[in-house]
Structure 1
């Protein structure tokens, strides 16, 4: 199973993000250059698990609960925008993440990747960069500098990250051939 460990923004933050992105998304809809992330898919990935065997999931759940319980909740806010790999030829548009304690999300990512690896899950080794994906290029990369200038003023209300979620990703099973996400488990941060 494809899965990921993530922090999911609360509804009021998703609404603020959508209010900010909406006019740009609507203005560009006719061009069809971008596939905008559905609201229920907005999340901050801490660890991507391209191959989580179901029989390994129970060990991951136990280890993940212990790891999450030892962490402290963190205040987050979505701010600014960027593109991967770069604004001149963007495949992904994203909202940036501001942390009340800089570096904490990177530490969580590293710790959760280690937990998942120890539980026997395949773990993606891509360098961690805290972000929430808001759109993907349809087809080839597109210049996005003008769009990023408009999105860069984003600043959502802050929220307290108190949970890490294990989400299963079922490719092609959602509306229009998008993935279908399934929340498999939620761990409370700082529950020890």
Structure 2
């Protein structure tokens, strides 16, 4: 089973970003836009996890989340992976309104990743780069112009006060994944299973 832990922006942050993105969806036809109901900020992604480990992973994420306080964030700016000259992914940046900045979110991600690893579900990926994926493309494209437009975005502030553990189910027949929330782990509190 594929599972991941993420921070999910609140509805008002979704609505604001959706309003900004909507008029731009048809401009570059090769972009495959992520539906807004799937938007999230991944903290840790675990590829193939045996179903029997799910409860252990949830407990580990809950324990890591309980050691952190809510983090003031905003979606603002943009970027691409791997780089603007050969972009395959277009994303919105995640910034912090905290006096300590993004280290709070990075510390949460590191704690969640380590906890998942100890639970037997080692996270995939390299260095952590907080972002919200907007679109993907099959063939790399030059995205500098896109970045100029998308980098103008500055969303409302919100407080990340929980980590959601999701099961990711492959494709709906058209290649789109389906995410199922299996637990919500409040920051500084105990877990609520979905």
**Category of TM-score, reference length = shorter chain:** over 0.9
Q: Any conservation in 1 of the 2:76–2:151 contact (CA below 8 Å)? A: yes
Secondary structure in 1 matching 2:153: coil
**Structure 1 residues 71-86: aligned runs within 5 Å:** 71-86=68-83
Query: Deviation at 1:175?
Result: 6.2
Map of 1:88 onto structure 2: 85
Count, aligned residues: 187
Match of 2:6 in 1: 6
Report the 3-state secondary structure (helix = DSSP H, G, I; strand = E; otherwise coil) of the residue aligned with 1:186: strand
Q: Which runs of 5+ in 1 are unaligned?
A: none
Residue 70 of structure 2 is aligned to residue 70 of structure 1: no
Q: Secondary structure at the match of 1:95?
A: strand
Structure 1 position 26, deviation (Å) = 2.7
Instruction: Report the CA distance between 1:57 and its aligned residue.
Output: 1.3
- Measured in 1, the distance between the counterparts of 2:3 and 2:69 equals 24
SS state at 1:141 partner: strand
Q: How does 1:54-133 map to 2 (within 5 A)?
A: 54-99=51-96, 100=98, 101-102=100-101, 103-133=103-133
Q: Distance in 1 between matches of 2:26 and 2:54?
A: 40
Cα distance in 1 for residues equivalent to 2:166 and 2:154: 26
Aligned to 2:45: 48
Secondary structure of the residue that 2:19 maps to in structure 1?
helix
Q: CA RMSD in A?
A: 1.3
TM-score by length of structure 2 reads 0.92
| SS of equivalent residue, structure 2 residue 113 | helix
Helix, strand or coil for the counterpart of 1:122?
A: coil
Per-residue CA distance 1:98-126 (angstroms, 9 max, x = gap) = 11232111111111111101111132142
Inter-partner Cα distance in structure 2 for 1:68 and 1:3: 16
Q: Tell me, yes or no, if the aligned pair for 2:60 and 2:112 is still in contact at 8 Å.
A: no
For each residue in 1:12-41, what CA deviation from the matched residue of structure 2 results, as whole angstroms up to 9, or x when unmatched? Answer: 11111111111111333xxx2100010111
Q: Output the TM-score relative to the length of structure 1.
A: 0.93
Distance 1:64 1:136 in 2: 28
Task: Sort the Cα spacing of 1:175 and 1:13 in 2 relative to 1 into closer, same or farther, 3 A.
Answer: farther
Structure 2 alignment gaps of length 5 or more: none
CA–CA distance in structure 2, aligned partners of residues 108 and 27 of structure 1: 36
Aligned-partner Cα distance in 1 for 2:20–2:13 = 11
